Amino acid sequence: MRFSLCLIAALLAAPAFAERLTLDRIQADPALSGPGVRNLRVSPDGEHITFLRGREDNQFQLDLWEFNMKDKTTHRLVDSKLLVPNESISLEEKARRERARTASLSGILNYSWSPDGKQLLVPIAGDLYLVEAAHPEKARKVASGNVADPKISPKGRYVSFVRNQNLVVIDLTTGAEKQLTTDGQGTVHNGEAEFVAQEEMGQRTGYYWAPDDSAIAYKRFDEAQVPVARRFEIFADRTDVVEQRYPAAGDPNVVAELFIVSPTTGVQRKVDIGADKDIYLVRADWSADSKHLVYQRQTRDQKRLDLIAVDAATLAQRTLLTETSKTWVSIHDDLRFLKNQNAFLWSSERTGRNHLYLYDMNGKLLRAVSSGDWGIDAVQAVDEKTGRVFVASNRDNVVDKQIYALALDGSTANKPTRITKADGWHDAAFSRNGEVFVDTFSDPSTPPQVSIRRPDGSMVGWLEHNELNASHPYAKYKADLLPTEYGTLKANDGQALYYSMIKPANFDATKKYPVFLYTYGGPHAQQVQRKWDNQFYQYMAQQGFIVFRLDNRGSSRRERQFTDVIYKELGKHEVEDQVAGIDWLAKQSFVDAKRIGVFGWSYGGFMTLRLLSAASDKIAMGVAVAPVTDWSLYDTHYTEQFVGATPKSDPKAYENSGVFTHLDGLKSPLLLVHGMADDNVLFTNTTKLIDGLVNRNIKFDLMTYPGAKHGISSRAGQRHVYGTIEAFFKKHIGG
C-alpha cells in the first residue's frame, strides 16, 4: 500500500507532457530500468551484500558495490576504472563472454568471497586482484596473463585459475604459484569446459575444489578429433579467417577425462569414467566431507545420465542413481550434499514434473521432498538447522516465479510455503546458511526492486528500492507505459498456451491494429513472463502495434508432456502453436488480420522462416535474425538432443526439422539479418539460405553486420538492428 501511495504521488508530481520513448533513449545512459544489480552475493559472515552495477555514464561498465548490513549503507567497493583504466581482453576471453552472454559488458564481470568474509577475489581484463573488504583501496594484483575462471578455495588457503590451458594455484600463505598441469597446449585443455559444454550445458568451469582444500577435480579434454570449421569473420576493414573446433551434429566431440590433483604435492590421479569415450562429462562435485568426488556422465544420445561417486582415497566407484528418458534427460544444478547427514538432494523429471528427492550416499532413495501437479525451477538454498530447502517455482502461476520453502522430511512435499509475496517475478540470492536472502522483484509496471529478507519473507531493508518516482530514469516515460495482459489459448492437443499482449497507446476497441508478433519458440526458454520487460516491446506498442508473444510447446517451465512433443520434429508443433495464436488474434475485433508480422532471433529466426513457409497466407511479413536454417550446421549437444539423431542416422529428421524442405511456401516479405562474425549460429546458415532463396527466385531483404557476433551486442549495433526491424515492420504493415 505504501508503494502505491508513493507511486500515485510521483505521478501527480510528474510533468503534464511526458517525453516519448525512443530507440536512442533505450540504448542511452542511465539505464531506463534504474540502477540495476548483478551477481548478488551474501558474504560468508552475513555482514555484507555485494553486487555488480553499471556506471551512470556507461551502464555496460560494471563496478563492485557493497551494502553493509550493520549500518544499512551502500557504496562502491571497487572502481573498475581505477583498477584497469584501459581494458583489453584476449580473444579467448571474448569467446567465453559470448558463451556466457556477457559480450556487451566490461569492467568487473565476476568476483568471489574468501571463506572468512575478509577478502574478495576480483578478475578484470585477464588480471586477478585480491581486495580487502575493509580496505578496498589496498587491492593487490596476485596474477596476470589471461587468467580465467579464478576461485578462492573453500578453506581460503589457495587461489586457483586457468592460464594458457593449464590449471594453476597460488598458496596464499607463502605467495608461491604452482602450475598443476603442464600438457595444456594446442588441442589439450585442463580445467576448462569445452565449447558445447559452455554453450549448451551451462558449464562455466572445468575444475572443482574439495570442501577441505585437499584436492581439485578437473576436466582434461582433447579436441583434436573435432572438425575445424574455417570461418570468415568479416569486419569493416578486414577479413579474418578463424579456424574453430566446432562439433556440428554428427561430428566427433572432444575426448574428456577426469583427474584429481593435490594442490600441495601436485600428484595426479586419473578417474576411470568408462570405456565409452563418446560421452558428455556434464558436472563434477564433492561430498560435504570431501571423501567422495561425484560426477555426472551423460550418453551421447542424452537418454541416460549416471550420477557416480568416486572414493577419493581408493578411486573405487559406485553408481548412485541413473536417470533415463525416451527423449532426453535434462541437465540441472540441483545436486546438494548435506553436512549433517550422509545424504544429498537431487531433482528429476521422472514423473513428468521436475521434483526434488533425498538420497543417502549409497544411492538409496529416502523420500520425495516435493511432489504434485507442479514442479520446481531450481534449488536456491538448504537450511539444515531448520530442516528446510528453498526452491524457485511457478507453482501458483506459470508466468510468475516465486520462492517456496519445503521440509526436508517430506512432510510438505505437495504444500510448500510461499516465501515471496507479490505476484510477478522473484530472483533470489540466499546466504550460505539460508538465514537471509536478497529478493529481486519486478512486474511489467515495476522495474527491478532489490530487498533483503528473512527466510519467512519478512523485510530487513531495501538494497535498491528503485521506486519509479520523479527522479527515476523512466519517470519521463512512465505516463506512456502500457499494461501487459496475460491469458491462455489452447494447442491442438488441448494443452494451455500462455500468451502476453500489449495493446497500443490510446487503444480503441473499434479500430483494427497491426500485430508485432515476437517469437523465440525454442526449448529451455520461456518468453511470457510477468516481469519488467525489454523496452523495445513497449516502444513498438507505442508505435501503434499490438505486441504479442506466445510460449509454444517445447518451451521451458512446463511439464514434460508439453516439451517432449518437439522430439525429432523441430519446428512442427512450435509452428502449429504460433499459428493457433495467429488464428486467435485474427478473430479479435481490434486486430487487422492482414497486418500480422513476425520477428525472431536465433531459434526465433528459425521459427520466423518456418512460420512464413507454413502460413504466408496469414503472416504479412517477417524478420529473421541469426537463424538456424540447417540443423546439421549446428552443434552436437543441442541438435542431437532435440532432433534425436545424427544427420547420417536419420537424414529425414534433419530434412523435416530444417528450413529448406518447407521453403517453397515462403511468399511474404522477409528481412534476413546476421552478424558476419557469428561463432554460435554460423554465418553459413544465412549464406546457405540466401542460395536457397535465390534458386527459388524468392525475393528478400538482407542486412549484415561486420564484426558482429550472435547477439550483435555493441550499442551501435543494437540501436541499428532494432531500428531496422522497426522500419521493416512499418514499411510492410504500418503502425
Q: What is the full DSSP assignment across 388-416?
A: EEEEEE-SS-TT-BEEEEEETTSTTTTSP
CA-nearest of 188, 260, 178, 199 to 224 is: 188
DSSP 401: B
Q: Which amino acid is at 368?
A: A
Catalytic residue annotation: 602, 678, 710
Q: Which residue has the cell 590449471?
A: 167
Q: Which three cell numbers stand for residue 312?
A: 577419493
List all residues 6 or more positions away from 175 whose beta carbon is below 8 Å from its beta carbon: none
Helical segments of 353-500, H only: none
Question: What is the Rg, in whole angstroms, of the alpha carbon atoms belonging to the chain?
Answer: 26
For helices 603-615 and 572-586, angle between their N-to-C axes, nearest 10 degrees? 60
Cell of 507: 487503444
Written as one letter, the residue type at 29 is: D
Which uninterrupted H or E stretch holds 185? none
**What SS3 class is residue 191?**
coil
For residue 203, report the phi and psi dihedrals to the nearest 5 degrees: -95, 110
8 Å CB contact between 225 and 251: no
> Percent helix, strand and coil across the chain, each rounded to 5?
20, 35, 45
Cα–Cα distances in Å, from 661 out to 78, 638, 688?
55, 21, 13
User: From start to end of 57-156, where are the E strands?
Assistant: 58-68, 73-78, 106-107, 112-113, 119-124, 127-132, 140-143, 148-152
d(CA 700, CA 693): 8
Q: Which is it for strands 188-190 and 216-222: parallel, antiparallel or unpaired?
A: antiparallel
Query: How far, in Å, CA of 359 to CA of 336, rounded?
Result: 10
Q: What is the DSSP-derived secondary structure letter of residue 88?
A: -
Query: Is-contact 584 489, C-beta < 8 A?
Result: yes
The DSSP call for residue 495 is -
CA distance 231 to 242: 5
* Residue 403, CA atoms < 13 Å, CB-side half-sphere: 29
SS3 for 349?
coil
Judging by beta carbons within 10 Å of its beta carbon (0-12, 13-18, 19+), is residue 559 exposed, middle or buried?
A: middle
